[in-house]
């Protein structure tokens, strides 16, 4: 089902967005950088788990991040030079 956004977002959708945003209040965030160009690729919250695939806006390459391994702040992946 595709939403008709010509008249704006429905109230149910706005309520859902606000509820999800309220759920992140007080959580710390971390920035994961691109493996290739070290540009800020994605921001994750402290309760994030699992793997995330993100496309860098600077170099247009896709990278896969294991969020749990990156919790301690140490760099798990090194920059790849071609």
Q: Which residue has the higher pLDDT, 32 or 4?
A: 32
Residue 57 within a domain: yes
pLDDT at 57: 93
Residue 45 within a domain: yes
pTM of the model: 0.63
Residue 38 within a domain: yes
Taking the C-alpha atoms of residue 69 and residue 37, their distance in angstroms, rounded to an integer, is 20
Residue 13 within a domain: no
Residue 19 within a domain: no
pLDDT at 39: 92
Domain count, the chain: 1
Task: List, for residues 11-68, the tens digit of each pLDDT value.
Answer: 888 899 899 889 888 888 888 889 899 899 889 888 888 888 999 999 999 989 888 7
Exposure on the CB side of residue 1, measured as CA atoms within 13 A: 1
Residue 61 within a domain: yes
Residue 18 within a domain: no
Range of the domain at 37: 27-82
Taking the C-alpha atoms of residue 41 and residue 34, their distance in angstroms, rounded to an integer, is 5
């Amino acid at each position: 089902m595709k939403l008709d956004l010509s008249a704006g977002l429905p109230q149910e959708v706005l309520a859902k967005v606000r509820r999800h945003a309220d759920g992140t209040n007080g959580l710390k965030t971390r920035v994961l950088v691109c493996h290739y160009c070290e540009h800020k690729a994605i921001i994750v919250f402290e309760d994030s788990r699992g793997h995330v695939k993100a496309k860098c806006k600077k170099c247009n390459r896709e990278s896969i991040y294991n969020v749990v391994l990156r919790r301690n702040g140490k760099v798990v992946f090194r920059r790849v030079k071609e």
